[in-house]
Each structure stands twice: as C-alpha cells, then as structure tokens.
Amino acid sequence: MKRRNFLLAPMVLVTAPTWANTVQSDENIESSTIVHVVNFWLKKDLSEKEKKNFVGFFEDLRKIDVIKTLNYGVPAQTNPRPVVDNSFDYTLIVTFKNLKDITTYETHPIHLKAIEKYQHLWTKVMVKDTSIIK
C-alpha cells in the first residue's frame, strides 16, 4: 500500500459515519413533544400590507411561555405534485414539551386574544397536531 493511501485509510474510516448519514435527528425533540401545525387561508380581498401584517398574529403567540419553538412561513415554491397542497397563505409550526403544555396554550389568554384580533382576516384554518414517537 502506498504511504499516501495508508495515511488516508484511517481518516476515511473515522469520518465516514459523519458524511454517510446526512439526515440528522433533532436531539432537542423528545418522545413527548407535540408538534402543532396550523395552515391559514386568508381572505382574497386583503391588501398585501394586510397579508404581511398578519404575521403579528404569530408574534403575539410567541409571548406564550409554554411554547418550546415557534416558526411560520408561506408556501414553498416546490415542484407541483398531486400530494402537495400549497393553497394556504401561511403555516404556523409550534412545538410543545407535552400534552399539558398544548392544553395550556389552547386556552391561554394571549392565544385567545390573538385569535379574536386576527380571525377577521382568514376564511379557513386547518390544525394538525402530532405526537412525536421516537
């Protein structure tokens, strides 16, 4: 074996596990975690400013202490496929430590006030709650 290959072989063996598994699991997500995904369809007659101001709803929710993570966005411009529904305007993705925390969130005064403040802007809301099973 050439000296160069002899020196490289151990490096490949040591680093292979890091590049062979490109999909990483989130170490912060536990089996009790609840993922709360909410899609919003806004009224068609809203101005662009009203649509952009809708993110205030999400920022209001961010103040709720039982929320572990909170992210929101718009439909991604992925390739059209029969299984993809990009008809919504915004998606909210929130994680909670457990069922107790999402139950607290559902009736939290900040949550209820934000709904009251912004519900006139949407026509449809769809919620999907997932319990992580690691």
Domain assignment of residue 23, yes or no: no
CATH number at residue 43: 3.30.70.100
Domain assignment of residue 27, yes or no: no
Residue 95 in contact with residue 69, Cβ under 8 Å?
yes
Residue 127 in contact with residue 36, Cβ under 8 Å?
yes
Query: In this predicted structure, what is the pLDDT of residue 52?
Result: 86
Place of tokens 């909410």: 38
Domain assignment of residue 12, yes or no: no
How many domains are there within the chain?
1
Domain assignment of residue 21, yes or no: no
DSSP state of 120: G
Confidence category of residue 31, pLDDT binned at 50, 70, 90: confident
Domain assignment of residue 14, yes or no: no
Query: How many angstroms separate the CA atoms of 17 and 26, rounded?
Result: 17
Residue by residue, DSSP assigns 66-86 as TEEEEEEE----PPP-TT---
In terms of DSSP bridges, do strands 67-73 and 90-96 run parallel, antiparallel, or are they unpaired?
antiparallel
Q: What pTM, to 2 d.p., does this model score? A: 0.77
Query: How many angstroms separate the CA atoms of 69 and 35, rounded?
Result: 9
What range does the domain containing 53 cover? 39-75+91-129
Query: How many angstroms separate the CA atoms of 55 and 22, rounded?
Result: 33
Q: Which residues of 110-120 are buried (b: 16+ CB within 10 A; e: fewer)?
A: ebeebeeebee
Q: Determine which of 2-6, 60-64, 77-81, 127-131 has the lowest per-residue pLDDT on average.
A: 2-6
Statement: residue 121 has pLDDT above 50? yes
Domain assignment of residue 71, yes or no: yes
Statement: residue 71 has pLDDT above 90? yes
Domain assignment of residue 17, yes or no: no
**How large is the average pLDDT for residues 56-63?**
97
Q: Determine which of 24-38, 43-57, 79-93 has the lowest per-residue pLDDT on average.
A: 24-38
**How large is the average pLDDT for residues 88-106?**
97
Domain assignment of residue 100, yes or no: yes
**How large is the average pLDDT for residues 42-59?**
94
